[in-house]
Structure 1
Amino acid sequence: MRLQLDILNIQDVRFGDRTAIVNGVLDINRSELEAFLKEDRRLSGVGIELALPGEKCRVIQVTDVIEPRAKKEGGVDFPGALGKPGRVGEGNTCVLRGTAVVLSEYRTPGDSPMFPSMPTQGYVIDMSGPLGEMGIYGQTHNIVLVPRPAEGVGPDEYRVALKLAGLKTAAYLGRAGKDLKPDEVEIYDLPPLTEITKGMETLPKVAYIFQFLSNQFVSTPGYPILYGSAADRIAPTILHPNEIFDGAIVTPYRSMGIDVFGLQNHSIVKELYRRHGKDLCFVGVVITVAFDTGNENERAATMAANLAKSVLGADGVILTKCGGGIPEVGMALTAERCEELGVRTSLALTHYPTVLVGGDSTVLFNVPKVDAVVSLGTPWIPITLPPVEKVIGTALEMPEGGSPSGEMSTILNYTRGVLSQIGDTKLKAFQY
């Protein structure tokens, strides 16, 4: 399967009379885009704003971030979510690099937060200050959507409409560049398993076990997760890595540390591609979910390990998780089953500080054979954000004190784009 990303480097975004890209500048017809999104009768209106690098601007109530992309030559954008479940992961896809669609959830004072412990203003993106420098999305030209639910639309219906509005906008903007010559081209080409090791027989065969969904939270009915359908109880299965890049998977409403933007630019998959044929042979991806019962986690761990060993023929696997406690335990159990089959493992994860776990450990497992663990950071690092001049999103009264535009004390866990469960971060760890 061969996927070509035709990349247009966007230097600026502004509102204009038509949606088009000229000399690296993306013009957006705001009224046209709003009318397009309001075709979904679950929405009464859609606020569309820009948050640009260096602005003293804060985006609040963030639920997801998506890179604008569109298939060329009749391909399907976000299959199953925006249309029929068509084939993705091959052909040409137009990418507007340097831009992002940011979803900001409309909230009223009586609404429940995404997570019980979440601050009033939800997930935050700053375009300047320390968070603007640390976070990936402080460097992108962001098109922020604040869709408002229509009267009588319940929370679950609204959350589905919110996500679809983001996917539609990403494809709408991506189509503006379909006929333009790309500034850069990236090619991802991985042949069928019967051909993949040719000429690489001496290299270690490495697979990736990607835990992309967790059952620690109740799923949102109708949410388009895998090719447009629910995926909370699926058995481990093999997915071509290009499908991850190209819209086959969409993050759930309660996603911890993974955005659609991160899936489209999956750092670990990109690194495996980069090293393929050099010091390893990348044999494929097994996708799995974290279950909320012991028997189901055992089943998933056994099946994922068997697929990696007996179908992909892996000598080693990389594993990541998609949430907190239950996903971490499920990932460790899968790694243990791999080690029992002679498949060496390396885990990459965000983890708890010792003050929350107790003792000297920062992880929730103790498996002697699982001894190669890469830290992706801890989300419980405190950070103080300076005041800003503009706030985008629903600003609610803050019982904890302060205002959305004022100085804000929070932790990295409640920011977007700083830490990632799949390695997409600018931060590094230093020993001193």
Structure 2
Amino acid sequence: MRLEIGKFKVKDIVFGGETSYADGILTVDREDALKVVREDKYITDAELEIVHPGDMVRLCPIKDSVEFRCKVEGGEGAYPGVTSPLGQAGMGRTNVLDGVSLLAVGKHWGGFQDGLLDMGGEYQHYTIWGDMPNLVLVADTSEAEERHEQQKKNHAIRWGALRLAEHIAQCVRDMEPEETDVYELPPLAARDEKTKALPGVVYVLQPQTQMEALGYNTLVYGWDGNRMLPTLMHPNELLDGCLVSGSFMPSSSKISTYEFSTNPMIKKLYEQHGRTINFLGVILSTLNPKMEEKARCVQIAGQIAVAIGAQAAVVAEEGYGNPDVDYTAMLVELERLGIKTVGISDESTGRDGASQPLVSMNPATDALVTTGNVSQFYKMPAMKVIGELEALARDGNSGGWEGCINPDGSCVMENNGMFCANHISGYSRRSCSDF
């Protein structure tokens, strides 16, 4: 399977009379773009803003981040099964506007799955979005039944962002990319003997799929991940938009749609394929609420790894708390089967860093990478807000609480509420120090 990602290197975003790309500048026709968002009858109000690195701007409550991308050949659309008919991802060519993103922000109502980020100041570099220009969709909806719920589907805003990102990317559909990344991974049996002789490595991704009710979990080709068993997938499928982020889990522990489709860990494994490893593919696993479901999932994933000849695995967990049980069990099972594992997750060690980092621990899990502490405490100065800062205190954002916002607009919060800040996808810049 061969996938080409055609890149257009965006230096800046501006508003103008026609949506277009030229010389590193993405121009967005504001009114035309908003028409796409307002196609959803549940969108009651929508605006577009542009933010740049260093702007003293705070965004809250953030629902998702999406890369601007469009399918040029070899598939149905940028997010098959979600914004387009079901079709095969991972082959042909997809054009992307590289180095920028679309951020979806609620005008008022948030929840514990929604986040906050700063474009400037001390916390600018705590997320990847603080270092890139972003188009910001700020919208409100008539999904009134969700407004006072801590857990929200955020369907209208999230789908509006997906449609808008794909619509804007159409401006480069017929253009020749400035740079093309090629991802080609032959079937296991078709690889040359030199590659087969290298250690076989599989990437085990555990996206958030714990909600038994539909509409909250990570989507796989539009299918709710809670309804799946572990599945072997080609890494190109992920890089080509087969996963859409859900609306569940405290924000810093989430993997955004942007990160699913630009996954740096997959790209790093690709870089080493044929050199130091034989990259076998992705086992897309699940996170489950019940112990029997956890055991079943781990058992099936383990047998897939054995069947494809895995000698080593990288396991990435989206979330923490209850999912730590699935995560640890996966690591232990793979080790039991003779597969060397490295785990990637964040941790919950308390504000003082002294608490047990994972709910479930085991001596077999002796190669763990931390991407951050969800309980890390922040003191944040006042700055301009896009959205509504009060959502941090009022609506159950997992990083905020009643009284966390001061009269002058400054606030305190836990890392729990910083949008996808722990970057479990592999973007994280954080580490754990012993001293």
Query: How does 1:99-248 map onto structure 2 within 5 Å?
Result: 99-108=100-109, 113-115=110-112, 123-150=115-142, 159-196=154-191, 198-215=193-210, 217=211, 219-221=213-215, 225-248=219-242
Distance 1:404 1:15 in 2: 34
Q: Does 1:400 align with 2:403?
A: yes
Q: CA deviation at 1:383?
A: 2.0
**Conserved in 1, the CA contact under 8 Å of 2:103 and 2:136?**
yes
User: Which residue pairs with 1:84 in the alignment?
Assistant: 85
Distance 2:266 2:46 in 1: 34
**Conserved in 1, the CA contact under 8 Å of 2:3 and 2:184?**
yes
User: Which residue pairs with 1:423 in the alignment?
Assistant: 426
Distance 1:420 1:260 in 2: 12
Q: CA deviation at 1:322?
A: 1.2
User: Which residue pairs with 2:349 in the alignment?
Assistant: 353
- Deviation string 1:184-240 (CA, Å, 9 cap, x unpaired) is 22111111121135421321100011101231x454438771111212131111111
Distance 2:173 2:239 in 1: 18
Q: Residues 150 and 293 of structure 1: is their aligned pair in 2 closer, same or farther, counting only changes over 3 Å?
A: closer
Unaligned runs of at least 5 residues, structure 1: none
**Conserved in 2, the CA contact under 8 Å of 1:301 and 1:337?**
yes
> Which one-letter code corresponds to 1:232 in the other structure?
N
**Conserved in 2, the CA contact under 8 Å of 1:321 and 1:331?**
yes
Q: Does 1:268 align with 2:265?
A: yes
Query: How does 1:326-365 map onto structure 2 within 5 Å?
Result: 326-353=322-349, 361-365=356-360
Distance 1:286 1:203 in 2: 19
**Conserved in 1, the CA contact under 8 Å of 2:199 and 2:276?**
yes
Q: Residues 57 and 162 of structure 1: is their aligned pair in 2 closer, same or farther, counting only changes over 3 Å?
A: same
- Deviation string 1:70-122 (CA, Å, 9 cap, x unpaired) is 111363220111121111111111111121110112435xxxx522xx8xxx5
**Conserved in 2, the CA contact under 8 Å of 1:137 and 1:416?**
no
Q: Residues 157 and 203 of structure 1: is their aligned pair in 2 closer, same or farther, counting only changes over 3 Å?
A: closer
Unaligned runs of at least 5 residues, structure 2: 394-401
> Which one-letter code corresponds to 2:25 in the other structure?
V
Q: Residues 52 and 405 of structure 1: is their aligned pair in 2 closer, same or farther, counting only changes over 3 Å?
A: farther
Q: Does 1:409 align with 2:412?
A: yes
Distance 2:146 2:420 in 1: 29
Q: Does 1:292 align with 2:286?
A: no
Q: Residues 304 and 270 of structure 1: is their aligned pair in 2 closer, same or farther, counting only changes over 3 Å?
A: same
> Which one-letter code corresponds to 1:203 in the other structure?
L
1:281 is aligned, of 278, 281, 303, to 278
Distance 2:218 2:407 in 1: 31
**Conserved in 1, the CA contact under 8 Å of 2:91 and 2:236?**
yes
Q: Residues 319 and 139 of structure 1: is their aligned pair in 2 closer, same or farther, counting only changes over 3 Å?
A: same
> Which one-letter code corresponds to 1:254 in the other structure?
F
Q: Does 1:93 align with 2:90?
A: no
| TM-score (normalised: structure 1) | 0.90
SS in structure 1 of the partner of residue 137 of structure 2: strand
SS in structure 2 of the partner of residue 181 of structure 1: coil
> Which one-letter code corresponds to 1:207 in the other structure?
V
> Which one-letter code corresponds to 2:295 in the other structure?
E
**Conserved in 1, the CA contact under 8 Å of 2:390 and 2:405?**
no
| TM-score (normalised: structure 2) | 0.90
* Count of residue pairs brought into register by the alignment: 419
Q: Does 1:374 align with 2:369?
A: yes
Distance 1:349 1:157 in 2: 24
SS in structure 2 of the partner of residue 419 of structure 1: coil
- Single out whichever of 365-374 and 140-149 deviates more from structure 2: 365-374
- Deviation string 1:354-401 (CA, Å, 9 cap, x unpaired) is 679976x4223332322211122212222222222x311134385415
**Conserved in 2, the CA contact under 8 Å of 1:79 and 1:227?**
yes
User: Which residue pairs with 1:35 in the alignment?
Assistant: 35
How many percent identity over aligned positions? Answer: 26
> Which one-letter code corresponds to 2:287 in the other structure?
A
Aligned CA RMSD, in angstroms, stands at: 2.4
Distance 2:389 2:212 in 1: 26
Q: CA deviation at 1:22?
A: 1.7
> Which one-letter code corresponds to 2:117 in the other structure?
I
> Which one-letter code corresponds to 2:236 in the other structure?
N
- Single out whichever of 362-371 and 43-52 deviates more from structure 2: 362-371
> Which one-letter code corresponds to 1:246 in the other structure?
D
**Conserved in 2, the CA contact under 8 Å of 1:56 and 1:127?**
yes
Distance 1:404 1:59 in 2: 18
Q: Does 1:316 align with 2:303?
A: no
- Single out whichever of 273-282 and 198-207 deviates more from structure 2: 198-207
Q: CA deviation at 1:183?
A: 2.4
SS in structure 2 of the partner of residue 64 of structure 1: strand
> Which one-letter code corresponds to 2:184 in the other structure?
D
